[in-house]
Every structure is written in C-alpha cells, then in structure tokens.
Amino acid sequence: DVASNGEIAEEIGTDSPPASRQPAIRLERGGKSFGIYPVFQDLNLAVKPGEVVSIIGPSGSGKTTLIRSLNGLETLEHGVVYLEEKPFLAGSKEKLAKSLRHVSSDALRIGMVFQNFNLFPHRTALENVMIGPLYHKRASASELRQEARTMLNDVGMLVHENKYPHQLSGGQQQRVAIARALAMHPSILLFDEPTSALDPETVGEVLRIMAALARSGRTMVIVTHEMKFAMEVSDRVVFMEKGRIVFDGSPALLAERRREDGRLAEFVRI
Ligand code: ADP
C-alpha cells in the first residue's frame, strides 16, 4: 500500500519519456484576437519532450491566451497546434479548419493546472482525482482508486483524501489539482499561473511539486510570475511582451541578456 506520511515525494513517477526529439507540442503561426484587439499574430512556439518551458512577461501580454490555445480552451483564429508533429488544432479561419478542428482523445494527453484550481466542489480530493480516469474507463474502479491514492501520495495529499475542496488550503487544493492532471497520464502538462491565487505561505509547497515533476522528465509549459522558480527549474524561459516573444532561451542566457536589455532587466529581478 502507498505510504501516507503526507510528505512530498522527491521525484514523481513519470511514464517513460519518448525517444524522439521532435517537438512534443508546437504552435505554428498562431493568431488570436478578442474583438478588434489582436492578442498575438504569427506566434511560434515549440516544446520538446521532457523540456520545461516557463512563459513570463508583463500582465496582458498574452501568456494565458497562448497556453489556453495550446489545448483548445481558446480557439485560435489562425495557425495550427501540432502534437508530436501531428495536426491537433487549427485556427477557425484556417482553410484546413474543417478537417483539423476536432475534440479528439489527443486532448486527453494534455493536462492542465489552473490558477483557481477548478476542483469539483462537491467531490472529495480522492474523487476529484478519480473522476476523469473513471469517466474514460481507463481501468477498473478499484485499480483507478489505488492509482489515484498513489497520485495523492506523490503530492503529499493522501492524508486529506476524504476532504472536500473547501476544507483545504489553496496550496492543498492546487496539489490535488496537480494529482488530478497526472491521473490522466498526460504527455504534456500546462500550468496557467498555478501559484498566483495562493497565500504566500503555500506557494512553496506547490512549486516544490512542480520542481519534482520537472526533474522527473515531464514536458511542462508554465505561465508564471515566480521568477526565481522559472530561472531555477526551466530549461527555457520565454519572455512575452505585447503578444510577441521577445526572448526565448536558457535561464543562463536570460541572466546574461538582462544586463544589456532594459526591458528584461526591469522584469527579470531575481
Ligand atoms: P497575460 O496572461 O499575459 O496577462 P492574457 O492572455 O490574459 O495576458 O491577455 C492578453 C490580452 O487579451 C489582454 O489585453 C486581455 O485584456 C485580453 N483578453 C484576455 N482574455 C480575454 C477575453 N476573454 N475577452 C476579451 N479580452 C481578453
């Protein structure tokens, strides 16, 4: 049986990483507006298997819209999202739209963690983690229950398995939300400002889990304002400003560029 000491695992088990180095997910020439205001145009982003990419930048620069476009929570007007180089989503104005735009089982391969947790309020922590796999009949109920308990244990939440979201702190709810995302065995994890809604004292427990996931070889795209975390944990940092990617490179390169680029220096304080 899984241990229930409430501690956060150092490394969190992952499905074996894909051998290929083709992008796990790639946005090609993405374009999106709200009304007449373009958020971004001709935006390109590719993330390789096992890569951890943090997206940073001022408020309103399009980070959230970008990450939500990667799994279809926002519909692009232009562009194509590829999963392992296979077309997955296409913009509504794309000529190919009809043949590409679909809700497919591929969507299940992308896990998402939201700023406001989005747990089901009338379900316990354990039920929140089990609900997706049960619905998709991934295995027998008893197997899924055992697996969900393992996932909760990995994020240090097994001791709270029978509690409802309102009985948990923000950090605890977010840890359950991470376990829920992992329960679907996603090949990619998207995080949209996962610590922005948390009390300062619970931010660390969520960042520690994300760091453990990063170390275990997960493919992760993270919109975050946690600069220290982004610099320490990411393979790549993408800096967005007014809908454009103005920097895309390693944390080391960003630290270097910061010295000569006023815009970066202003934002990237660590
Ligand atoms: P960021 O995540 O970098 O703060 P967002 O992607 O949330 O930026 O927002 C980019 C721009 O799109 C902002 O100007 C924001 O006001 C606008 N925007 C975002 N969502 C909507 C929406 N649902 N309707 C209208 N405008 C939106």
Least confident of 9-13, 28-32, 100-104, 129-133: 100-104
Q: pTM of the full predicted structure?
A: 0.90
pLDDT attached to residue 88: 87
pLDDT band at 138 (very low <50, low <70, confident <90, very high): confident
| Calpha distance 100→82 (Å, rounded) | 10
Q: Name every residue whose Cβ is closer than 8 Å to that of residue 1 and which is 6 or more positions away in sequence.
A: none
- Give distance in angstroms: CA of 171 to centre of ligand 1: 25
Q: Give the residue whose CA is nearest to atom 27 of ligand 1.
A: 34
Classify the complex by whether its ipTM is higher than 0.95, answering yes or no: yes
pLDDT attached to residue 4: 45
* β-bridge partners, 241: 244
- Give distance in angstroms: CA of 124 to centre of ligand 1: 32
Instruction: Kindly report the average pLDDT of the chain as a whole number.
Output: 89
pLDDT band at 108 (very low <50, low <70, confident <90, very high): confident
pLDDT attached to residue 67: 97
Give start and end residues of each alpha helix (H) in the chain: 63-70, 97-100, 125-135, 141-154, 170-183, 200-215, 227-233, 251-260, 262-267
- Give distance in angstroms: CA of 34 to centre of ligand 1: 8
Provide the token pair at 192.
């949209």
Q: Residues 190-238: pLDDT tens digits?
A: 999 999 999 999 999 999 999 999 999 999 999 999 999 999 999 999 9
Is a pLDDT exceeding 50 seen at residue 145? Answer: yes
Question: Do the Cβ atoms of 26 and 81 come closer than 8 Å?
Answer: yes
Question: Do the Cβ atoms of 205 and 155 come closer than 8 Å?
Answer: no
Is a pLDDT exceeding 70 seen at residue 121? Answer: yes
pLDDT attached to residue 21: 79
- Lining ligand 1 with CB less than 6 A are 34, 39, 57, 59-65
Q: Residues 54-94: pLDDT tens digits?
A: 999 999 999 999 999 999 999 999 999 999 998 888 888 77
| Calpha distance 204→201 (Å, rounded) | 7
Question: Do the Cβ atoms of 65 and 32 come closer than 8 Å?
Answer: yes
Percent of the chain past pLDDT 70, that is, above it, reads: 87
CA-closest candidate to residue 81, choices 63, 57, 97, 59: 97
pLDDT attached to residue 5: 47
74 CA: nearest ligand 1 atom: 23
**188-192 and 219-223 strand pairing:** parallel
Q: Residues 160-179: pLDDT tens digits?
A: 999 999 999 999 999 999 99
Q: Across residues 254-269, what is the average pLDDT?
A: 84
- Give distance in angstroms: CA of 195 to centre of ligand 1: 18
CA-closest candidate to residue 213, choices 3, 25, 6, 13: 13
pLDDT attached to residue 3: 42
Burial of 248 (0-12, 13-18, 19+ CB in 10 A): middle
pLDDT attached to residue 264: 82
